[in-house]
Amino acid sequence: MLHLAVDAATLARLQRRNRLETALTLIALLLLAAAIGWLAAGPEGLVIGAAMMAAGLAFGALPADAVFVHGYGAVRLSPSAAPGLFALVAELSRRAGLAVAPTLYLLPQPVLQAMAAGTTEKPGIGFTRSLVEILTPAELAGVLAHEVSHIRHGDLIVMRLAAQASAITRAMAQAGLLVLLLWGTGAMGAHPLLPALLIVAPLLADLLTLSLSRTREFLADARAVELTGDPQGLASALLTLEQIQGDDFERLASRGPWWLRLFRTHPTIAERVAALREATVVLRPALPLWGDTPWGQGLPPPRRRLPWRR
C-alpha cells in the first residue's frame, strides 16, 4: 500500500515564499500610502498618511459571530447539532497546534463554500449545507483542514492588515482626487505626478492584496494535506467543486486575456491541483527488518515523486 505525504522541502519553500511576499506586500502598501502623502503635501502629508495607516492597522478584526451571523446570516452550530464535524475540526485543530478549535457556522448560501474568519484567539469556520451533503468524508476533511491551516498560519491577521492598508490607500486617493477637483493642484501645492498616482493607487493596492491572497492559498493546501495525510482527499474535493459549480465565481482565467487572473482571490482549481501533485511524494514502506539491519539504521525511508494525474 502506498503512503502519501507532502514533501518537507516543498512545505519549507512555500513557507519562505509566504513570509517574503507578506513582508513585501505590506511594505509596498505602506510605501504607496506614503507616496500619496508626500506628493500631496510634502513632509506634513507623509506624517498624516503614516498616522492614518497606523490608526487603520490598529483596528481589530471582526469576531467570527459578526462576520458569519450578522454578515452572512449564518447559524452558529452547537456540538450536539453536528458532533461528527466538531470532532473532525477538533482533531485537525489539535494536529495544527491551535490553542482553541474554531467555532462552526452553517452558511445559508446555496453554493459549495467554506471560509475562515474571526481572530486567532476566537476563530470560526463557516460552511454551507451543500458542501457537507455532497462531499465525501475525505473530501470534507481536506476542505476543513484547509481552513484550519489558514488560521494556523495567521492568514486571518495578515489578510486583515493587507485589506486595511488597501482600504486606507483607496480612501486617501479618493480624498486627494476630491481636493484636486475642488481646488486644483495649485491650492495644495501638490506634485505634478500626484493626479496620476491618485488614479492608479487604489488599483495597485487591490492587486497587491489579491496577489497575497492567492499565494497563501498554496501553503494552506499543502498544510491541509499535512494535517489529514490524504492529498487525494483535498484534490478530489477541488475537482468536485469545479465539476459542480465551475471554478467558483472567479472563472476569469477562461474568460479573456491572462491578466484577468490578477483579479482573482484564489488560484485556479487547475493550478491548485497541479501544486498538490508536485508537492506530494510516495513514502515507500520499509522492507522487513529494515530498521534492524546495521546498514538501515537511522536512514529515512526512500521517497519518489507521485505521478499523480487527473
* CA 141 – CA 14 distance, rounded (Å): 22
289 lies in some domain:
no
Q: Is residue 196 part of a domain?
A: yes
> Which is higher by pLDDT, 269 or 7?
269
Q: For the chain, what is the domain count?
A: 1
Examine residue 302 and state whether it is found in any structural domain, yes or no: no
Answer whether 58's CB lies under 8 Å from 52's CB: no
* CB burial readout 28-53, b (16+ within 10 A) else e: bbbebbbbbbbbbbeeebbeebeebb
CA separation for the pair 117, 279 (Å, rounded): 27
Q: Is residue 223 part of a domain?
A: yes
Higher pLDDT, 38 or 141: 141
Mean pLDDT, the chain, rounded, equals: 80
β-pair type (3-6, 75-76): unpaired
Question: Greater confidence, 87 or 278?
Answer: 87
pLDDT the model gives residue 309? 43
Q: Is 152 part of a structural domain of the chain?
A: yes
147 carries an active-site annotation: yes
Q: Domain for residue 84, yes or no?
A: yes
CA 1 – CA 178 distance, rounded (Å): 66
- Report how far residue 163's alpha carbon sits from residue 159's, in angstroms, rounded to the nearest whole number: 6
Q: What range defines the domain where residue 95 resides?
A: 3-274
Is pLDDT larger for residue 124 or for residue 194?
124
Among 38-42, 80-84, 171-175, 276-280, top mean pLDDT goes to 80-84
Mean pLDDT of 294-298: 42
Cell representation of residue 135: 462531499
309 in a structural domain: no
> Is residue 299 situated within a structural domain?
no
| Residue 253: exposure state from Cβ atoms within 10 A (0-12, 13-18, ≥19) | middle
Q: What is the pLDDT of residues 151-160, one digit of tens each?
A: 998 888 888 8
**Which candidate in 133, 139, 147, 271 is catalytic?**
147
Q: Model confidence over 213-268: pLDDT tens digits?
A: 998 999 999 999 989 988 889 999 999 988 888 765 555 555 556 677 778 888 88
Whether residue 27 has pLDDT greater than 50: yes
Evaluate the CA torsion angle 91, 92, 97, 98 in order and state its sign: negative
Is the pLDDT higher at 236 or at 173? 236
Confidence tier at 282 by pLDDT (50, 70, 90): low
pLDDT at 253: 54
